[in-house]
Structure 1
Amino acid sequence: MTTLKEILSMDFFSNLQLLNKKGNLEKSLDTVEITETPDVSNFISKNAFVLTTAMAFKNNSQGLCEFIRSLSNASAAGLGIKVGRFLPNVDPCVLDLANDLNFPIVQIPTENTLGDIAHRILGYLWDNQHEQFFYSQETQQELVNLMIHGASVDELIRQLGLMTKQTIFLIDPCGNISSASFLKSDKTMPKKQKKLLEKIRPYQTEQVTNNFSFSLEDVDQTIVNAYPIQSTVYFPYILVIFNVEKMPYPLSQLVIQQGITVLTLTLYNEHKARIKQKRERKELLNYLLHHDSNKNESEWLDYKKHFPILNATYYQVITIQNSQFGNSISNNPNLDAFIYDYLLNYTQNSKHDIALFPTENIDEFIFILYERIRLTEILVALHKDMYEQFNIWLRFGIGHSVATIELLHYSYDESRRCLEEETHKQSIMIESSENSFKSLLKDIPNKDIHYFCTSVLKGLAFPKNQSEYDLRNTLDVYLSRQCEITKTSEVLFVHRNTVKYRLKKCEELFNQSIHDPDFSLQLRIALYLSEEIN
């Protein structure tokens, strides 16, 4: 970026003199215009340095003041006046106005023609532009080479930060900082990041396409320049660069645009990879639910990375739908992809065992849980975040849990049926109340269930001390882990001999082997029922 300050500091232009001390010389200077027309402000380019003899304002200081005001409003870089023939000197009232506007007035000596000054400044600007162009081409080539060799978005952002020597962030469609490059250590950076995300969010939700800038005035006077990256995602990625105007020569906006071009291609490649992964997950889900596929068993080994736990004893399906509520938009493939990416990011960062799968329907996804979790808290928080941040209304159909992967389709069908049968679209969590083991027992009095549990489990049905609780818990874990001593000890964090001792005590209490098929079934049912009614 070339400025008047740079021009006036050069020996080549040493005979040009700034007339008003408060003139802003830091403004970008992009071109030069020669004029004697009072209304030229309607036709000049932004950041133009205007040259004139002020012939039209001879003996008319007020008219010259209005001319300067119009140039300032048109974002001109400054005004160069050839003092002498038509304007012997510049009236103090003109300089006072220019100072009030921080608009620079430069005196051009009589021995120079306006054409000569214009030619020299334009020549300097063109030389700079050529150098900046060639540098931007080198930058693009360097970034393209990184992309070709498989560099990630993180690596490209770091490299762009080193090139621009400025702090850079990439904001993902969910409004989070996905990549960053810091210029230097800054204790105020956490505050800056928080304020930055607050200011960026409205632009993202409005799906802006034009560049914009703002100041982090609550933290310091950092100027933030933001560049939306056009892609197929519902909400745009936004590249953020601090204090672009301080980039060292020969860096320019051209370099930034080259960086954005390479980032756009890299993000598109990552998007295509996510589409492939999404398709694999959809095929795997179809296989898990229906075992319906043209692939042979060996081909599914590679897909196991999407769902590694195929031998658990607990599975539960939650169907998730983007419902048309309020201003939400439904049946939009880009919105569908955004919700999927958001939920995938949630599951990957969750401390719980949850897997996400897309279904055959747009705006529909499923969670598969393979451990008991506090569902209400998680689903309500997810719904709240999506609605408050993105105006997306998610609903959840909750199927009952099943004990093996082969029964997964029962939980899936239940969860979908919950949403289909619930006509009140404002409900966000709908849980199945029928077609479950619990529903089969709804007409049996609690006292009868209590009697059954006590007759089978004896004192372990409703433990009254720690010893009884330990025996019951060991028995429950042992039966749920296919009667494997090692797995039971690992879950309980006790020695294998401790497990054996406790199981022997259980058999002494029951006066029967816990491995007897009929009695083992009774034990499982009694453990489940006693927990439910307790």
Structure 2
Amino acid sequence: MLLSVKEITDSCLFKNATLKTGEETISNKSVEWVSVMESPVENFVRENEFVLSTGIGCHENSDELLSFIKDVYDSGATALAIATGRYIFEIPEEVIQFAEDREFIIIELPWEIRFADIVHEVMNKLNELKQSETMRFREVQQQLIQKVLEGRTLEHISGFVEQELSRSVLICNEKRQPIAGSADPDEVFTLWKQVEEKSATHESNHPRHAEIKKVESGNVELIHLNIQSDVGRKGDFFILSESGNRMKEQEMMIAEQAVVAAALWFTRNSAVIEAESRMQNEFLLGLAKGETMSEEHVASHAEFFKYNLDLPYLCIIGFPEDLKDSIDHNAAPDESRRTKLDRVAIYIKEGMLYAGENVQRQVLFAYESDQVIVFVEASSSPAPDAVNQFLDLVERRFSHLLPGVTFSWGIGMNKDGVRNFSGSFQKATAALEMGRTQRGIGKRTYFDETQMNRLMLNLAGNEEVKDITISTVSPLVEYDEKREMDLIKTFITYNNNNGNVSQTARELNLHRQSLLYRLRKIESLTKLSLVNPDDLFLLNFSIRVWSTGVIKMKTGHLTHKWDRND
């Protein structure tokens, strides 16, 4: 769905405006942005932009005005609305002629109309369209998933996709044998042979579009997507359409969800693969947690899963902060919790494997409860550079597969080495807990960022330190669980601001009196004074040790876990 210029000008704000040019195209020209622009234009106007101007730099100079309008037109703008009465009193005839020759829309606005009101009106209309598109995409996404869960045939699924895209499709298995879709296999394979004989043309650098290959022949365009499951390639998804009818972003997203649905269909029909995936997960978790396993057991499983354990690996742990809400919002009412989580796990693993292929690194993946555990082959590059490249790809992938979900990441050390899965896992776990507690959600925290992290992790293993930490921190945690006041975050922010109440209140977006109430509550619960240096040190020390994540108390708030078997 697109917003046309006519839909904008039909607003009551434009009742006294005059359409000077573009009457024949006003219903067909789409608007994606709105801006206020004066000369010079340079590269500040985007394609399909609705531009507002007072012509302030062109006062009584028709040549300057014509030059300005040429620049706006050349930038790809959809329409230009000029407020007359202050700097421009009448739009010159040569400007009108220029616009008419190019079917460019020019609107004359009375000076009294405020640009802010127009911008507000246009943005509201664009937001409404965006929300409508998002809702429609989620509906299609859910219907595709539901068809797989209901056990519908792949032919039924392909028919649904063809109706949504208004294009014919062809779905093939991993041997490239046609199994569903109405597209002519001979036509598809003839076109696809041209792609295989030449270097494939990528659609863009976008993480999704980078997997899409296309070829044009005559008036036909063939688009190809790989069908990828949690254990590898499962087949091909082809889309046939007319060359001039390019797929829009929304259609591309539907196509990707169709590919995901096809992958789920293949996976659902393979109980052996599902069992293998569980074994794979359990094996990697065993390595990560340092479980005792014989050399023969490790070697046989590594060979079976095609794991090269003789490479150096770096552990990365991801925590999806709002995954539970996202799943509950998008899932069908009668869908079980386990089914929801298994479906999302496929999305997550697919994204991880995709990123690993793009950075050309071995990736070992597992998940436990709400945590994503990944061992990525370490490289000679500095750790942050390599890890950031990997996680950038992962997050861009997740933004489409899991819209609305934010991940926090904990990263071990690049030099952890060969077969040090347990050590790197512990460091990544500690980094994740410290990052979430001290820096907030949605951050990437490296264990080796500071020496303090290592010190606190070692101290957390001492029994006396554990006792002191639990007795000091547990009253705050228990109170936070009951009242959701987040006293720990309040103290960390207060301490980071060196006790500056005003600065802390601003950072937490709290009223000064509300902050003072929280600080007094911290003192009363811990029996420690925030003005006593020794008490302040003890409280800061205890919270830092607790933030390593090594010390677990019997409270859901501390572990932040939710049970997969609910």
- For the aligned pair, the TM-score class normalised by the smaller chain equals 0.3 to 0.5
TM-score of the superposed pair, with normalisation by structure 1:
0.40
TM-score if structure 2 supplies the norm length? 0.38
